[in-house]
Chains A and B, each alone.
Chain A
Amino acid sequence: MATTMITTLDRSSRAAARGLSDISIRNLFIIPTVLFLIVFNIFPLIYSLGYSFTDFRASTNAPANFVGLQNYRDLLNDPFVWNNFAITAKYVIVSVAGQLFVGFGVAMLLNRDIPLKGLLTTLLLLPMMLSMAVVGLFWKLLYDPSWGVINYFLGLGNFEWLADPKMALYAVALTDIWMWSPFVMLLSLAGLSAVPKHLYEAAAIDRAGPFYTFFRITLPLVAPILMIAVIFRTMEAFKTFDLAYILTSQPTAELISIRLYKMAFQEWQTGRSCALAYIVLIMVLAITNIYVKYLNKVKER
């Protein structure tokens, strides 16, 4: 049986009456998207690669001079940039681990017959659907040292969550955990409900305890989908900008994307910031690749 990839146009349709062929309709849908991608994604990507080898400054009219790998060399030798990377790494680990723990935990609680399960799940998903900027402003109010709700309930007096150099980063991570745990929960729920019930029954008959069942059956079966959640969240956390930028200006919470922003739009070191952006891109790609490799291994087992 021959199958074609393109569905043939219904000859009696209005589009056909206007003289549009299958191919022209296909083009009508695809070309705008492709153009958009080229103009706003691919072109800047390539263009900035060019800039990353120059000393271009967007704030002046001075022509860009080619400086070779100078920018990369400087950046990789800059202890401040490395410090930003260290902060970012800490942030990613705390935030993703937190989301995984909370999200999976809540999913385990929800994965049973409870009344109003659907409503509860929807409500729990709400944080994820808010805008980053809104969440940032909202949590800034919650964290407020003098009249914030958090200090009031925890009885912490005037503890300054966002101004405390040691706490600021964790405060941002906490907000991120609140916002994105539902995402992990959603994926975990899908994974958990895919574990066949008869396996649990077999395990119960085989006299396996709850922990043993969890580590030998539940976790291995949900692991691949959890890995996918981790990949998504790691990539996102690595790139976090808005949340941290809105919440705090502590140098101890200066993530790499904030450094990048400052370099590009406050110090106007356009060429150098392009180079930094590429370094970040390569790192994210590398980390993702490692995860994907690991994911495939987990799946194979």
Chain B
Amino acid sequence: MAHIQLKNISKTFGNHTALTGLDLDIADGEFFVLLGETGAGKTTTLRLIAGLEKPSEGQVFIDGVDVADWGAAERDVALVLQQYSLYPRYTVRENLEFPLKPKIRRLPDAEIKDRVDRAARTLRIEHLLDRKTDKLSGGEMQRVSIGRAIVRKPRVFLMDEPLSALDAKLREALRTELKNLQMQLGATFLFVTHDQIEAMSMGDKVGVLNHGRIVQTGTPHEIYNNPRDTYVASFVGSPPMNLIDGKLVNGRAVMAPLNFELPFSGAAKASAATDGRPLVFGIRPEDVYLESGAPVEARVHDVENHGVEKILTLRVGDATLRATVPARTDVAIEQAVRFAWNPDKVVLFDKGSGVSLRHAS
């Protein structure tokens, strides 16, 4: 198991810049999720750690050793890709044996058999061992490719959107399995995904990547409740955080173009400098609530019924705002409602830079 560190990594492909000044620290035994949109540089980061690409600048450390000159084989990592990359024409068993069999570090046959059987048992693919890989379903293939990673007992597991190609039910099941597997093995995992639900539910720590830069690293809880900037706020969470332009005036949030006011309890913390300065107020939909005596009036624009809850889109003037309310709330489209927010949960962002005021200091 290993501790991984990236220091000031930059990577360019021709004149396209994939990563700029990336710093990353993944502790031993941690389940680290790298979250970002397509093209944010997640896969490149993974490939740099795996040794499939060389950084244009910066250093990669595994257990404190600079691995710049190490090839993929020496780094002793395991990589699971979205497209499974099983070796065709071989059975599942042969695929699982593959990493154990190269002549240079061939293990004794008994040991190979033991490890393969153990991996198969862990992933519940024992009954498939003698099947050809092209006769497997997507979920089974992905299990085999995870199996091929775990037989070797690598120092780090790198997973590049391993669940993206699977259907929803299976994705959920494997998500839990992977997390359990990681805890069981106590291994360092670096998991790359564009799916914020995967990131929140699996990660010990989440790194949000945007345009080749790490925007924020933290526990899922921190990322969710205390996003560093408006990008993280709008990217993480479904539905995303509401972002409303406005100002603080005398301890009240005054929405600038929308023309409504809400109480703001953090006023004491907010210094005089914040008073009157253009801000963006961020509030999670679940912290917006409907109440008959609440200060702001809105119309219900849309209702999404999710069973356990309803997601309302409220219309105030030209702007819309999402609110998550209990399923029993009885509302109709175009109905006039009054809403308020939980003033403790409001996050303030600087209008110009988009950075949260809590993080700016």
- Given A204-B71, A207-B73, A199-B87 contact (CB < 8 Å): yes
Chain A residues in 8 Å Cβ range of B50: 205
Contact B72 A204 (CB under 8 A): yes
Contact A206 B98 (CB under 8 A): yes
Residues of chain A in range 188-222 having any CB-CB distance to chain B below 8 Å: 196, 198-199, 201-209, 212, 216-217, 220-221
Q: Which of A204, A205, A209, A216 contacts B87 (CB 8 A)?
A: A216
Interface size class of A (residues with CB under 8 A): 10 to 19
Chain B nearest CB, measured from A81 CB (Å): 42
Residue A112 CB within 8 A of the other chain: no
Task: Please encode chain B, from 87 to 117, with 1 for each CB lying within 8 Å of some chain A CB and 0 for all others.
Answer: 1110000000011011111000000000000
Q: Which of B73, B85, B89, B102 contacts A301 (CB 8 A)?
A: B89
- Given A206-B98, A206-B99, A217-B85 contact (CB < 8 Å): no
Chain A nearest CB, measured from B335 CB (Å): 47
- Given A205-B50, A205-B78, A205-B79, A217-B87 contact (CB < 8 Å): yes
Residue B148 CB within 8 A of the other chain: yes
The answer for the CA separation of A198 and B161 in the assembled complex, in Å, is 14
Q: Which of A204, A205, A212, A221 contacts B88 (CB 8 A)?
A: A221
Contact A220 B89 (CB under 8 A): yes
Chain B residues in 8 Å Cβ range of A221: 88-89
- Given A201-B79, A202-B79, A204-B52, A209-B85 contact (CB < 8 Å): no
Chain A residues in 8 Å Cβ range of B132: 301
The answer for the CA separation of A196 and B85 in the assembled complex, in Å, is 8
Contact B87 A201 (CB under 8 A): no
Task: Please encode chain A, from 44 to 88, with 1 for each CB lying within 8 Å of some chain B CB and 0 for all others.
Answer: 000000000000000000000000000000000000000000000
Residues of chain A in range 102-141 having any CB-CB distance to chain B below 8 Å: none
Chain A residues in 8 Å Cβ range of B81: 198, 201-202
Chain A residues in 8 Å Cβ range of B122: none
Q: Closest residue to A207 on the B side, CB-wise?
A: B73
Residue B77 CB within 8 A of the other chain: yes
The answer for the CA separation of A221 and B77 in the assembled complex, in Å, is 25
Contact B52 A212 (CB under 8 A): no
Contact A209 B98 (CB under 8 A): no
The answer for the CA separation of A206 and B73 in the assembled complex, in Å, is 7
Among the interface residues B50, B77, B83, B89, which one has the most CB atoms of the partner chain A within 10 A?
B89
Residues of chain B in range 62-84 having any CB-CB distance to chain A below 8 Å: 71-73, 76-79, 81, 83
A sample of 15 cross-chain residue pairs with beta-carbon separation below 8 angstroms, ordered by A number, consists of A196-B85, A198-B83, A201-B79, A201-B81, A201-B85, A205-B52, A205-B73, A206-B99, A206-B152, A207-B105, A208-B99, A209-B103, A217-B87, A221-B89, A301-B89
Residues on B facing A (Cβ under 8 Å): 50, 52, 71-73, 76-79, 81, 83, 85, 87-89, 98-99, 101-105, 132, 148, 152
The 5 residue pairs across chains A and B that have the minimum distance between CB atoms? A206-B99, A207-B73, A202-B85, A204-B72, A198-B85
Known: A196-B85, A204-B52. 20 other contacts (CB 8 A): A201-B52, A201-B79, A201-B81, A204-B72, A205-B50, A205-B72, A205-B77, A205-B78, A205-B79, A206-B99, A206-B152, A207-B102, A207-B105, A208-B98, A208-B102, A212-B101, A216-B98, A220-B88, A220-B89, A221-B88
